[in-house]
Amino acid sequence: MVGGEVVEIGEASARADAFRRLADSHLEKSYRLARAILGDAAEAEDATHDAFVTAWRKWSTLRDPARFEHWFDRILVNTCRNRARRIHRWRTQDLSAELPATVGDAVRETQDRDVVGAALARLGPEHRIVVAMRFYRDLTTDEIARQLGLPQGTVKSRLHTAMRRLHVMIDEAEGKGALE
C-alpha cells in the first residue's frame, strides 16, 4: 500500500508542523513559568526542554489542539515539580531580573522588584507553583485547580499562605516589620 504510506507520512508531517508551531508560540511563556517555579535559569531551561520532549512523545494523546496551552502547562508544572524534588532543597536566588514587566501588576507597582524576587525565591515549591500560575499566567484559582488536579480550596489556601508569607518577607526586607 504505497498510497496509504504517503497519507500516513503526510498526516505525521502535518501533526509535527502543528506541534512545532504551538511549541514555538508557547516557548517564552513556558520558560518564564518554569523560571518562576524553579528560581534558576538553567533549571528552567532544562525543565522547559524536558516538558516539550514529553509533550512531543504524548502529542498523539492531545485530542483538541486548542487546549494545547492547558495540556502543556500541566506537563511543564509536573516536570518542574519533579525537578524540584530531585534538587531536594530550594536555593534562594534573586529572581528580580527575570520578572516580566506587565502593565497593571500591583505587586511591581507597590514593591521593589529586587525584594519581590528574593521573597519569591524563598517560597517552597507548592506555593511558588500556584503564585507563578496565578500571576505569571493570570489563571483563576479554578483554572489552576483543574490544571494541577487539586481541589479549588487547596489552591486558594496555598495562594493565601504564599501571599501572606510574601507580604511578611517583603515587609521584613524593607524594615517595616511583619504584617499582622
Q: Helical H runs in the chain? A: 2-38, 41-57, 68-87, 106-110, 113-122, 125-135, 141-148, 152-173
Report how far Cα 21 is from the mean position of its chain's Cα atoms: 20
Residue 119 near residue 93 (C-beta atoms within 8 A): no
Q: What is the pLDDT of residue 71?
A: 92
Q: Kindly tell me if the per-residue pLDDT of 152 is higher than 90.
A: yes
Same domain, 175 and 140: yes
Q: How many independent structural domains does the chain possess?
A: 2
Same domain, 102 and 143: yes
Same domain, 105 and 160: yes
Same domain, 66 and 97: no
Same domain, 57 and 117: no
Domain end, chosen from 74, 91, 108, is at 91
Of the candidates 162, 168, 134, the one whose C-alpha atom is nearest the C-alpha of residue 148 is 134
**How much is the average pLDDT of 42-55?**
93
CATH of residue 144? 1.10.10.10
Q: What is the pLDDT of residue 144?
A: 92
Domain end, chosen from 91, 124, 148, is at 91
Record the pTM: 0.62
Same domain, 140 and 100: yes
Q: What is the residue whose three cell numbers read 524563598?
A: 122
Same domain, 76 and 100: no
**How much is the average pLDDT of 126-155?**
91
Domain end, chosen from 91, 125, 150, is at 91
Enclosing domain of residue 30: 1-91
